[in-house]
Homo-oligomer: A and B are copies of this chain.
Amino acid sequence: MTISTRPSQRKPENLRPVSIIRGFTKHAEGSVLVKFGDTHVLCTASILEKVPPHQKGSGEGWVTAEYGMLPRATHTRGDREAAKGKQSGRTQEIQRLIGRSMRSVFDLKLLGERTIHLDCDVLQADGGTRTAAITGAFVAARDAVNQLLDKKVLSKDPIKDHVAAISVGIYQGVPVLDLDYAEDSACDTDMNVVMTGEGGIIEVQGTAEGAAFSRAELDQLLSLAESGIKELVQLQKAALTK
C-alpha cells in the first residue's frame, strides 16, 4: 500500500484507538461508553418485559434500537430532533441498521417474549458513529443478557455470536479503515460493514460519494473491513472479561 496521507497519520489499515467502558451509567441493564477515537457513543441496553404487537403471543422476543445525537456532538450545533418533532431520515436509517445488526446474532425464541431495547446516543461525533454504536451496543446487550442468565430468567444463551461494525472508504485513492470525520467528508467511497465474530457478513452498505467504484476496489475495502472487525471483536471480548 502507498504512504499514508491520512489526516490522523494513521496507516490505511489502522483503527483509531478504541475503548469500551462498561457500566458507564447505573440504571440500565447494560451501559457502555464506546470510543472510536473522538467519536463517543453511550449505548444502553434495557430489558423490557413486553414485545411489539407483531411478536405478541409468538413466544419470541425482540431486539430493537434507537439512535440519537446530542445537538452539540458535532462541529456546529444541529437542531434537537425532539424539538423539531421528528427524527431525520438519517437517524431512522441508522437505528434500523443497528436493530437489524443486533437481531442477526440473537435467537429470538431463546430470548422469550421480552425486548432488548438499545439506545445509542452520540455524545461526541468524529465520523463512524453508527459503527461505534453497533460495536458498543453489542457489549451492552451482552451485559443485559448476562443478567437474565445470572438471575436464571433464561437458561440458555440467546446470543449466538459477536457482532461488530466498521467503516471503510477510498480516501485520496487509497482504501482506508475506520474513517474519521476529516476523511469521511472528503472521501470518494464510503462503506459500512457489519460482521459476526465468525466472519459472516451481516450487512454491507457501500456508497459512491463521488466517482463510481469498481469490483476490485470493493474487494479491497471488504478485506480491510474484515480485519478491522476481527480486531473489534477481540476488543469486545477483552472488555467483557474485565
Quick check: is A131 within 8 A (CB to CB) of the other chain? Answer: no
Report if A27-B124 is in contact (Cβ < 8 Å); known contacts: A201-B213, A203-B207.
yes
Query: How many copies, total?
Result: 6
Residues of B within 8 A of A42 (CB): 70, 123
Quick check: is A48 within 8 A (CB to CB) of the other chain? Answer: yes
Residues of B within 8 A of A211 (CB): 200
Contact in complex: B44, A26 (CB < 8 Å): no
Report if A201-B208 is in contact (Cβ < 8 Å); known contacts: A91-B82, A124-B25.
yes
Contact in complex: A82, B73 (CB < 8 Å): no
Quick check: is A135 within 8 A (CB to CB) of the other chain? Answer: no
Within 8 A of B (CB), among A58-80: 66, 68, 70-75, 77, 80
Residues of B within 8 A of A28 (CB): 72, 77
Within 8 A of B (CB), among A188-212: 191, 195-196, 198, 200-208, 211-212
Which of under 10, 10 to 19, 20 to 34, or 35 or more describes the interface residues of A?
35 or more
The complex places the Cα of A206 from the Cα of B73 at a distance, in Å, of: 29
Within 8 A of B (CB), among A100-114: 100, 104
Contact in complex: A72, B44 (CB < 8 Å): yes
Contact in complex: A203, B196 (CB < 8 Å): no
Partner of A27, one of B66, B73, B91, B226: B73
The complex places the Cα of A174 from the Cα of B31 at a distance, in Å, of: 36
Residues of B within 8 A of A92 (CB): 89, 92-93
Chain B nearest CB: distance from A39 CB in Å? 11
Quick check: is A157 within 8 A (CB to CB) of the other chain? Answer: no
Contact in complex: B66, A71 (CB < 8 Å): yes
Quick check: is A236 within 8 A (CB to CB) of the other chain? Answer: no
Q: Which residues of A contact B (CB under 8 A)?
A: 25-28, 31, 38, 40, 42, 44, 46, 48, 66, 68, 70-75, 77, 80-87, 89-93, 95-96, 100, 104, 117, 119, 121, 123-125, 191, 195-196, 198, 200-208, 211-215, 218, 222, 226
18 contacts between A and B (CB under 8 A): A25-B123, A25-B124, A44-B70, A44-B72, A66-B71, A66-B83, A72-B119, A77-B119, A80-B119, A81-B82, A85-B86, A89-B89, A89-B96, A92-B92, A104-B212, A201-B212, A201-B213, A205-B205
